[in-house]
Amino acid sequence: DRLLMGSKITGMFTLDAVPNDQHIVLFATGTGLAPYMSMIRSSLAENKHRRVAVVHGAYHSWDLGYRAELATLARVCPHLTYIPLISDPDHEPVPWKGQTGFCQDVWKSRVIDADWGFRPSKDNTHIFLCGHPGMIQGMLELLTEDGFDPHSRKSPGQIHLEKYW
């Protein structure tokens, strides 16, 4: 395999296509959170008016990477919402007090709406998806039902996704 390096990060999975007046929801499972960390750090510093929600799902709490950092950022940044959730709470060594289920459940339950005080829509929010193919497919179905459009170079939309398996 060839690996090419350059001085500028390029690709489709960046915040470049998101207008400054648009909010962001980042859905991830497992290690799918990793690409979001630089997006979160730069967005919070650059745009104090943009709401950012991070929904991170994993089987167990110990699989929630960056949890301490994101929880701290959410405490000090009023425009950041962090929603960690696990799908297997019965095997936690300490009872889990957070959200349980899947990323799709968070969207359907409107937890983000309640926190933000408004419903994320294609007119005000861009959505990023990265992680388990089942989550990506399930979220794509829910989001398109809600009027969001997939983003591509030829057809700009509000759903950005990274399929890495």
Domain boundaries defined on the chain: 23-162
pTM value? 0.92
The whole-chain average pLDDT of the chain stands at 93
Cα 146 to Cα 34: distance, rounded to the nearest angstrom: 27
Of 9 and 62, more confident: 62
pLDDT of amino acid 47: 86
Give the pLDDT mean for 122-150.
Answer: 98
**Confidence at 90, pLDDT banded by 50, 70, 90:** very high
Give the pLDDT mean for 80-84.
Answer: 97
- Please tell me whether residue 87 adopts helix, strand or coil conformation: coil
Cα 95 to Cα 91: distance, rounded to the nearest angstrom: 9
| pLDDT > 70? residue 114 | yes
- Please tell me whether residue 144 adopts helix, strand or coil conformation: helix
Residue among 18, 92, 28 nearest 66 (CA): 28
> Exposed, middle or buried: residue 133 (CB in 10 Å: 0-12, 13-18, 19+)?
exposed
Give the CATH class of 23-162.
alpha beta
